[in-house]
Structure 1
Amino acid sequence: MSYDQPRVYSTSVFAPTEVSEDSRVQTEELLREFILEFRIDSTFVYRDMLRENILVKQYTLSVDMGHMISYKEELAHRLANEPAEILPLFENAVKSVARGILFPGSDELEDFPECQVTLTSNANPLSIRDINASHISKLVRVPGIVIGASTLSSKATVLHLMCRACHSVKKIAVAGGFAGVQMPRVCEAEAVPGEDKNCPMDPYVIVHEKCTFIDQQVLKLQEAPDMVPVGELPRHIVLSCDRYLTNRVIPGSRCTVMGVYSIYQNKTVSRSTGSGAVAIRNPYVRVVGLQVDSDHNYKGGMRFSDEEEEEFLAMSRLPNLYDMFSSSIAPSIYGNADIKKAVACLLMGGSKKILPDGMRLRGDINVLLLGDPGTAKSQFLKFVEKVSPIAVYTSGKGSSAAGLTASVQRDHTTREFYLEGGAMVLADGGVVCIDEFDKMRDEDRVAIHEAMEQQTISIAKAGITTILNSRTSVLAAANPIFGRYDDMKTPGENIDFQTTILSRFDMIFIVKDDHNESRDRTIARHVMNIQMNKVSAEQTIVGEIPIEKMRRYITYCKQKCAPVLSPEAAEKLSSHFVGIRKQVHQAEQDANERSTIPITVRQLEAVIRIAESLAKLRLSPIATEEHVDEAMRLFFASTMDAVGQGAGSRKELVEEVNKIETELKQRLPIGWSTSYQTLVREFVTGKGYSQNALQKALMVLERRDTIQFRHQRSNVYRSGV
């Protein structure tokens, strides 16, 4: 038959998958030699590791791909490109070596447990969105966040079949992952001489009691938020773990997965979409290695060279590091020095503590920016999202309680419930930036109470009861209840938050847009320079420390340093706290009202965390009295200022406004017309009242008077404005 006939022919363009038995034996022997002979200095790494594991009944061996490359590069290359062929041989080799260690001189492998090989590597990871069809059946290394984990199921590795008619037995091996098995349609047993073999179609039944099973778990891995391009949805992929790789991670864990990129057919989808979907396969990763990132192991394991460590140590000894670091935070924003220093403390964080009774004290610092529109609050949040090693940015109105904490989803195929972590879970070990915090619904805001103090999220939904980690700092921005801060009202009347949420913030800054002519000119000049002279503006805007260097320095400080208070600093801080409590109590008695922002033991812990973060910035293991003094100054400039917010000056302002209001009513008869400048000359220049008080009095007069009176007087204080 020639190929020029009018017919359709097909041929394989891939290399033949069949491997000769001799080649398999040689490969298995090479793998046995690698396990037995590979050593670093005088230590046989894998021989000793395997002996330790099997003595504690753990039949597993973790192999570093770098070691295999240095031992035999060709073998490592085959393992990376043909893992489905090489891994079973590798596990047989491990089983053979383990048998030799336990029972020397015996070659019987029948009754010995199966051994599992797990792989680790330091190769560059591959993003989920970069995996394509060219990676099928090859080893891939993928970083991400686990957003869903199923319960354990049992998967058969060897099926024990028995014919219904002749009771003959057949064993079938089942591949790993989501791979299924095709049951024989006819009985394959040989006929007994002298008897008729009359077995029906589909004769085999599964004898479950004699099958071999392993544990299997299905995970859902999603791209980390910092790896998702702007405007794109995060991609996710399904993982299949078995044996010793199960129950290693929970939703919210950041990990790097090494596995075989495989495909399977979704039977539910193929039935619903018809015969056209027969050739469609869904991808998944059959996990052969799982590296779970620790608390401070940001971005899949950030490593530092010796030169970089020396540079960071030299930087930590700079006398002006604190001012230099804070001025490098959002350098394009004019002023706000204390807010920038507070953000620097938030990025560093304090020290986590586990008490002898098991209680955990958080080390993360929460900051609330509350103030008028146009005071660059959102820009601070955007900058922190950019500079923090792990950060999630969200807006209050677009965030629900489930989106911030965790939601319960149902799998479309298995119909099982599983958890998907929200913003607070995905930002574990980093910062959550919540803009428009005041626009959130109360029931959604209450959902983060536990996460902000206890650093956990408790879930009890749809029969799922669990606790997720949420070790994250919160940087929130909000507006006052009237849109702008009203000096005539108390902080409690301006702040539309419950005491329960306010007490969880370590620092609360009230940012007011004060009218100051010289300051307004400076800000206007600063903004004009940014808008007009782009090249020179960039040179002036860029801080003294570049963003990437700042991010790596933050990570380095968090990895290497966990300061504690010195006895002198602790004594000084405790006496300060007693004085603050007495001062607040006295102020509450004088004003005859309770403070909206309470000063409790939480605030004492907040000052401790701020002092520890200042020590961590300098890589100091001890937080000294100097750090406590600066922490107290920051606390007084933020929370204590918000508690008082000039109670005495507010009282004076109210009295001044009342006097001006009385004089205005006497000064301006109904129907009289005068200009605003005349009133300024008379009341501000002549009588010494403040211009702010005059404006407030005119506004109060307009609000309180009748419509007819206001209409007749309107030209009085509006003319010339």
Structure 2
Amino acid sequence: MDRGQVYAVPVLPPQPQQAQQNNDAAIEQQQNRVATVAQFHRFVNHFRQDHQFILRDKLKSNCFVNQHFLEVDLALLSAFDEELANNVRERPANYLPMFEEALKQVAKDNGFVADLDEVPDFQVLLLSNANPIPVRELDSTYVSKLVKIHGITIAAANPTAKGTHIQIMCRTCRHTKVMPVGSGITGIQLPRKCDGEPVEGTTKECPLDPYLVIHDKSRFVDMQTLKLQESADVVPVGELPRHILLSCDRYLTNQVIPGVRIAVTGIYSIFNTKPLDEIILTTFSIQNSDVAIRSSYLRVVGMQSDADGGQQEYLAISRRPNLYEEFSNSIAPQIYGSADIKKAIACLLMGGSKKILPDGMKLRGDVNVLLLGDPGTAKSQLLKFVEKVAPTAVYTSGKGSSAAGLTASVVRDPGTREFYLEAGAMVLADGGVVCIDEFDKMREEDRVAIHEAMEQQTISIAKAGITTILNSRASVLAAANPVFGRYDDMKSPGENIDFQSTILSRFDLIFIVKDEHDDARDKLLAKHVVGIHTNDKIVEAVGEVSMATMRGYISYCKNKCAPRLSPEGAQLLSSHFVDVRSRVRGMETKSAIPITVRQLEAIIRLSLSTTATENHVNEAIRLFNYSTMSAVQAQQVDGLSQNEFSTEVAKVQAYIRRRVPIGGRISTATLKDQLIEEPQNFRIPAIDRAISMLLQKEVLRFEKRRLAVVRIAN
């Protein structure tokens, strides 16, 4: 049988020799326990580092603020007693209670608690610098041992009360007893029979299952269950990410929310497969499951944020004179060109400085970028690279993303029947980047769901009785195609961009990426692509800064740096904003891309440095003009509105068809001169556009190195 607990009752009196052996074993076990507690006591009370009693002083500080716990680094315990540290790693469930008992003695001996007669229970929080074990590699060999894993929390249940010592009473004879409850997701088995002694002169007539729980006289602690999912960078291609259940108690509850990346130290444990409501909520019910299958979980004994080190290396990188160029060139080095787009992505990865105003209003510091353009321009490759290099990133496709998948969803637990929050992509990427490919393929109602997340950087939930606000402090890098598949220069930006102004205004930079036909550029592009595939072997393109270094440096900058704007830079920004607004206001047709105060804040976010001077502001303005302002002014060509330009291009095409018969040949320079001269008096942009369109339609063909054109069709 496989039950929660098994009770054995001897039916024969023990032999004298066996009784003596059992007694000696019990005495030896008790002596070993006392010696272990004393060793832990010496460790906490006398361990010194830099001539300071760091553990004792930390315990004292915690006790003065009624925080009865102590964080202990396993490296310190190893330095004090290697054997004791190994015992903690191999048998933590046995040694941690002794460690906590030693903490009570230290607090009592040193007078750290007010009431020495009733010293509260203490909790040991272990921190480890060991290499984390991937979630998918945890197996039965790790059961009951101390392990360290890292990942991202995707769900957090409401804290519940878990009994540690349960007082039970017989409902017939009123006999009471106290039963201890194990740690973690465990229950107890109530005795089937009353074991109270009968009153003299009476007989016991207690029925089966006579005990009931006296909750008022039982002892409880807080307990919370979390769901941890392994990081996306360790998930093999084609497989779903694994997740594991975490059990936190006492001071470890209410420490994390969905979307937080953590490194967890805990005891790899198992529990039977009964529904969680029977295990957690009715912990004291009888467990009669005979199933031998057990589910795994981690009983958390320590938790810390998942951060990288290397501070000295990052300080050296920050002192490089040409870091901006080196960093941007290292972004997707296998992709040819797109220098300004890569610089914008560098700004997105670093982010700006978040502002919290005196009235509590928050201004986001994260940069949002939209790449809109023709297929085959490596937009998705840029998104994939950002997903790999950003410390926290989530990649999703707009076609397969719903509003709940991007923000958050309310899910009912099949065991407890309670509702809890399941984090979406924007919440999971908190503090990082959300890469949304095929942004134009999203349904409009799903796209509207991220309006709040992109500007206020929060997600408000009001479903199934749950009303809360989740953080989504993430940058958005989106890629989309125009309405017609390819960007049509003959149509206005409003016709090419099928997005509402409400979503466009939330993007700091909007790049229109065109696949333009240029022989010189095409030769360089072909040479670059062929060079990557030299000798039929794909050679990895490596930038000046490695991906691992970029990831760590980005994380370091986000945690340590807070850019500020100099007075000169502020004056330059103000003048530029007024100039941009006046230019947009002077256009004949209303721009599809709005220029509002959000765009002024966008340039401020792009001005990256410890103190943003005029040089940094000028670079931010250059990027803004190259991207968003170019898209705004795309509807005006050489002073013409889009309709006037389209009409002139059509007239140029008609003149070329009349001037050059089918099979006829004419010098390119001569044709352009005739089009520019009176009475035609056409403009050069319209002439170039008309010839380009006729070449695409295979009406004309270049010959003699583009020096002549031949008409080959009608």
Q: Same fold by TM (over 0.5)?
A: yes
Q: After superposing the two structures, state which structure 1 stretch, 96-105 or 240-249, moved more.
A: 96-105
Distance 2:385 2:219 in 1: 55
Given that 1:270 and 1:278 are in contact with CA atoms closer than 8 Å, whether structure 2 keeps it comes out as no
Distance 1:32 1:183 in 2: 35
Residue matched to 1:36: 45
Distance 1:373 1:677 in 2: 34
Deviations 1:530-570 (A, max 9, x none): 334467x848x432333223333323333332220111111
Query: 1:301 aligned to 2:310?
Result: no
Counterpart of 2:77, as a letter, is: M
Deviations 1:404-449 (A, max 9, x none): 1112222222222211212111211111111111111111111111
Query: 1:171 aligned to 2:178?
Result: yes
Distance 2:58 2:75 in 1: 17
What is the root-mean-square deviation of aligned Cα atoms in Å? 3.0
Q: Secondary structure at the match of 2:482?
A: coil
Residue matched to 2:354: 352
Q: Identify which of 125, 130, 133 aligns with 2:137.
A: 130
Counterpart of 1:263, as a letter, is: I
Residue matched to 1:578: 578
Residue matched to 1:706: none
Q: Identify which of 612, 617, 642 aligns with 1:623.
A: 612
Given that 2:492 and 2:635 are in contact with CA atoms closer than 8 Å, whether structure 1 keeps it comes out as no
Distance 1:20 1:64 in 2: 27
Distance 2:669 2:601 in 1: 51
Given that 2:566 and 2:611 are in contact with CA atoms closer than 8 Å, whether structure 1 keeps it comes out as yes
Deviations 1:218-251 (A, max 9, x none): 1111112222222111111111111111111111
Q: Identify which of 313, 316, 328 aligns with 1:311.
A: 316
Q: Secondary structure at the match of 1:117?
A: strand
* Structure 1 pair 258–151 and aligned structure 2 pair: CA distance change class (3 A): same
Distance 1:424 1:52 in 2: 38
Q: Secondary structure at the match of 2:110?
A: helix
Deviations 1:293-347 (A, max 9, x none): 2xxxxxx2210164x245324xx332x3322222222222222221111111111
Distance 2:600 2:115 in 1: 68
Given that 2:270 and 2:294 are in contact with CA atoms closer than 8 Å, whether structure 1 keeps it comes out as yes
* Structure 1 pair 493–258 and aligned structure 2 pair: CA distance change class (3 A): same
Residue matched to 1:563: 563
* Structure 1 pair 397–677 and aligned structure 2 pair: CA distance change class (3 A): farther
Distance 2:402 2:352 in 1: 29
Residue matched to 1:4: none
Given that 2:63 and 2:113 are in contact with CA atoms closer than 8 Å, whether structure 1 keeps it comes out as no
* Structure 1 pair 28–556 and aligned structure 2 pair: CA distance change class (3 A): same
Query: 1:687 aligned to 2:656?
Result: no
Distance 2:695 2:333 in 1: 39
Q: CA deviation at 1:682?
A: 9.1
Structure 1 residues not aligned, in runs of 5+: 1-16, 294-299, 616-620, 703-716
Q: Identify which of 322, 342, 345 aligns with 2:344.
A: 342
Counterpart of 2:212, as a letter, is: V
* Structure 1 pair 176–584 and aligned structure 2 pair: CA distance change class (3 A): same
Residue matched to 1:530: 532
Given that 1:680 and 1:691 are in contact with CA atoms closer than 8 Å, whether structure 2 keeps it comes out as no
Distance 1:252 1:126 in 2: 20
Q: Identify which of 152, 156, 159 aligns with 1:152.
A: 159
Q: CA deviation at 1:632?
A: 0.6
Residue matched to 1:710: none
Distance 1:676 1:332 in 2: 43
* Structure 1 pair 409–129 and aligned structure 2 pair: CA distance change class (3 A): same
Residue matched to 1:610: 606
Q: Identify which of 512, 526, 529 aligns with 2:514.
A: 512
Counterpart of 1:57, as a letter, is: N
Identity %: 56
Q: CA deviation at 1:103?
A: 8.1
Distance 1:128 1:78 in 2: 23
Query: 1:232 aligned to 2:239?
Result: yes
Deviations 1:346-370 (A, max 9, x none): 1111112222222221111111111
Given that 1:100 and 1:106 are in contact with CA atoms closer than 8 Å, whether structure 2 keeps it comes out as no
Residue matched to 1:597: 593
Q: Identify which of 247, 251, 255 aligns with 2:254.
A: 247
Distance 1:30 1:51 in 2: 19
Q: CA deviation at 1:529?
A: 2.9
Aligned residues between the structures: 659
Query: 1:442 aligned to 2:444?
Result: yes
Query: 1:50 aligned to 2:59?
Result: yes
Given that 1:139 and 1:260 are in contact with CA atoms closer than 8 Å, whether structure 2 keeps it comes out as yes
Residue matched to 1:296: none
Deviations 1:125-151 (A, max 9, x none): 112111111111111111111111111
Counterpart of 1:692, as a letter, is: R
Q: Identify which of 238, 263, 280 aligns with 2:293.
A: 280
Given that 1:653 and 1:693 are in contact with CA atoms closer than 8 Å, whether structure 2 keeps it comes out as no
Q: Secondary structure at the match of 1:434?
A: strand
Distance 2:435 2:473 in 1: 14
Counterpart of 1:282, as a letter, is: S
Query: 1:184 aligned to 2:191?
Result: yes
Counterpart of 2:173, as a letter, is: C
Q: CA deviation at 1:654?
A: 2.0
* Structure 1 pair 691–411 and aligned structure 2 pair: CA distance change class (3 A): same
Distance 2:183 2:571 in 1: 62
* Structure 1 pair 584–172 and aligned structure 2 pair: CA distance change class (3 A): same
* Structure 1 pair 718–209 and aligned structure 2 pair: CA distance change class (3 A): farther
Given that 2:60 and 2:112 are in contact with CA atoms closer than 8 Å, whether structure 1 keeps it comes out as no
Distance 2:223 2:91 in 1: 23
Q: After superposing the two structures, state which structure 1 stretch, 381-390 or 68-77, moved more.
A: 381-390
Counterpart of 1:648, as a letter, is: V
Distance 2:393 2:343 in 1: 19
Q: CA deviation at 1:679?
A: 12
Counterpart of 2:294, as a letter, is: R
Distance 2:664 2:170 in 1: 104
Counterpart of 1:629, as a letter, is: N
Counterpart of 2:125, as a letter, is: T
Distance 1:74 1:377 in 2: 55
Q: Secondary structure at the match of 1:140?
A: strand
Given that 1:677 and 1:720 are in contact with CA atoms closer than 8 Å, whether structure 2 keeps it comes out as no
Deviations 1:552-608 (A, max 9, x none): 332333333222011111111111111111111112xxx1x3211111111011001
* Structure 1 pair 641–208 and aligned structure 2 pair: CA distance change class (3 A): same
Distance 2:395 2:649 in 1: 42
Distance 2:509 2:276 in 1: 53
Q: Secondary structure at the match of 1:333?
A: coil
Matches within 5 A, 1:81-92: 81-92=90-101
Distance 1:362 1:310 in 2: 26
Given that 1:657 and 1:697 are in contact with CA atoms closer than 8 Å, whether structure 2 keeps it comes out as no
Distance 2:311 2:506 in 1: 38
Instruction: Give the alignment's TM-score, normalised by structure 2.
Output: 0.86
Distance 1:270 1:496 in 2: 49
Q: CA deviation at 1:468?
A: 1.4
Instruction: Give the alignment's TM-score, normalised by structure 1.
Output: 0.85
Q: CA deviation at 1:389?
A: 2.0
Q: Secondary structure at the match of 1:392?
A: strand
* Structure 1 pair 718–402 and aligned structure 2 pair: CA distance change class (3 A): farther
Distance 1:676 1:392 in 2: 57
Distance 1:550 1:676 in 2: 57
